[in-house]
């Protein structure tokens, strides 16, 4: 496919905050296009979309945000005939973030504006922005706007077992796996994890190290997530998942192909979620991929509200 025919990928965020008990969302007035829209920007080389979203919002608005619930994507055709796909998330902006944000009108964004949803729908210049605002409104009205996440990660591409002389747990990453680890770190960090757990296997620890360095979080290595300790009954995984859900903190769980379906299954069962294509995709990860399962914060019982999977 020629560059002219390659789709343009971009990411954006519905930044929101509560004012007088009701949500307001952030719109940007674009300088060159002379329009009003949700903040967004194009994917940079070496990035994945979640990282793009938080980077673009910081560059355009000065706001440093953490990703919340995914709001899906929109597709439209640019004036040059290329297809453009923009993927959106929500992100709550607290008072401290708003206070320290530094925005100066520039060649790209002339002004920022916080508006109630009804006024924002009338103000945006494009129908696809209205669609995204409506999706956010549905999430907010359902009580699912504030969330924490369980992030399941499969280790990067490792040296094949048949070519490795030592114990399986000592197999290192290949160059491809090292590249995957570096690539996913920024996008997992976009969800602001509070805790990083990993299998004790070298390939898992190496996969998650760039994330730990980026977030300045310690890695808790546990045999419960290792392939060597895999048990078909999944009791250890069920107990680990229950503990993490009870804490209602965003956690990263880096593990192996056979263990990941148990992790996703335990998360789904804890919230009484019915198996579907998104959950199956979340469980059957290729090396270097990760899934994010979003749960409603403050709910007495775990409530799964969204699932997304990202390929490195």
Which residue has 């048990």 as its token pair?
A: 231
Residues 165 and 20 in one domain: no
Mean pLDDT of 270-289: 96
Residues 60 and 113 in one domain: yes
> Final residue of a domain: which of 100, 124, 141?
141
> Final residue of a domain: which of 86, 119, 141?
141
Residues 294 and 169 in one domain: yes
The set of residues, in sequence order, having a beta carbon less than 8 Å from that of 53 and lying 6+ positions away, is: 11, 12, 13, 40, 67, 87, 88, 89, 190
The total domain count for the chain is 2
Q: How confident is the model at residue 233 (pLDDT cuts 50, 70, 90)?
A: confident
**Who has greater pLDDT, 231 or 139?**
139
- Looking at the predicted structure, is the pLDDT value of residue 3 above 80? no
Residues 218 and 306 in one domain: yes
Average pLDDT of every residue of the chain: 95
Residues 215 and 240 in one domain: yes
Written as six digits, the tokens of 9 are 């990928």
Residues 192 and 254 in one domain: yes
Residues 137 and 257 in one domain: no
pLDDT tens-digit series, residues 46-56: 999 999 999 99
> Final residue of a domain: which of 74, 109, 141?
141
According to the model, what pLDDT value does residue 33 have? 85
Residues 247 and 121 in one domain: no
According to the model, what pLDDT value does residue 107 have? 85
Residues 129 and 184 in one domain: no
Residues 244 and 161 in one domain: yes
Domain that holds residue 43: 3-141
The CATH code of the domain that includes 183 is 3.40.50.1240
pLDDT tens-digit series, residues 110-157: 999 999 999 999 999 999 999 999 999 999 999 999 999 999 999 999
The set of residues, in sequence order, having a beta carbon less than 8 Å from that of 232 and lying 6+ positions away, is: none
The CATH code of the domain that includes 27 is 3.90.79.10
Residues 57 and 119 in one domain: yes
SS3 for the chain is: CCHHHCCEEEEEEEEEEEECCEEEEEEEEECCCCEEECCEEECCCCCCHHHHHHHHHHHHHCCCCCCCCEEEEEEEECCCCCEEEEEEEEEECCHHHHHHCCCCCCCCEEEEEEEEHHHHHHHCCCHHHHHHHHHHHHHHHCCCCCEEEEEEEECCCECCHHHCCCCHHHCCECHHHHHHHHHHHHHHHCCCCCEEEECCCHHHHHHHHHHHHHHCCCEEECHHHCCCCCCCCCHHHHHHHHHHHHHCCCEEEEECCCCHHHHHHHHHHHCCCCCCHHHHHHHCCCCCCEEEEEEECCCCCCCEEEEEEECC
Distance of CA 286 to the CA centre of its chain: 17
- Looking at the predicted structure, is the pLDDT value of residue 1 above 70? no
| CA–CA separation, 293 and 54 (whole Å) | 19
Q: Specify the length of the chain in residues.
A: 312
Residues 153 and 189 in one domain: yes
From the number of C-beta atoms within 10 Å of its C-beta (0-12, 13-18, 19+), residue 113 rates as middle
- Looking at the predicted structure, is the pLDDT value of residue 177 above 70? yes
């Amino acid at each position: 496919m020629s560059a002219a025919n390659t789709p343009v990928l971009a990411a954006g965020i519905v930044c929101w905050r509560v004012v007088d008990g009701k949500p307001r969302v952030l719109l940007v007035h674009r300088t060159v296009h002379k329009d009003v829209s949700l903040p967004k920007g194009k994917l940079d080389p070496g990035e994945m979309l979640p990282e793009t979203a938080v980077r673009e919002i910081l560059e355009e608005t000065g706001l440093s945000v953490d990703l919340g619930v995914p709001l899906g994507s929109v597709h439209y055709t640019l004036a040059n005939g290329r297809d453009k796909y923009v993927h959106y998330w929500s992100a709550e902006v607290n008072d401290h973030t708003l206070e320290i944000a530094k925005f100066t009108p520039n060649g790209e964004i002339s002004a920022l504006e916080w508006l109630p949803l009804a006024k924002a729908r009338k103000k945006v210049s494009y129908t696809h922005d209205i669609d995204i605002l409506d999706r956010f409104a549905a999430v907010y009205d359902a009580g699912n706007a504030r969330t924490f996440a369980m992030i399941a990660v499969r280790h990067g591409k490792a040296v094949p077992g048949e070519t490795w002389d030592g114990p399986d747990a000592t197999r290192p990453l290949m160059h491809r796996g090292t590249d995957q680890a570096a690539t996913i770190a920024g996008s997992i960090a976009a969800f602001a994890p509070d805790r990083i757990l990993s299998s004790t296997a070298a390939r898992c620890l190496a996969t998650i190290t760039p994330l730990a360095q980026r977030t300045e979080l310690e890695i808790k290595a546990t045999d419960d997530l290792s392939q060597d300790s895999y048990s078909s009954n999944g009791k250890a995984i069920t107990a680990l998942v229950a503990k993490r859900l009870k804490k209602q903190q965003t956690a990263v769980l880096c593990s192996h192909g056979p263990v990941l379906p148990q992790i996703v299954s335990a998360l789904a069962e804890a919230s009484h979620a019915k198996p579907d294509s998104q959950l199956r995709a979340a469980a059957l990860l290729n090396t270097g991929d990760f899934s994010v399962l979003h749960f409603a914060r403050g709910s007495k019982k775990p409530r799964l509200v969204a699932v997304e999977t990202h390929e490195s």
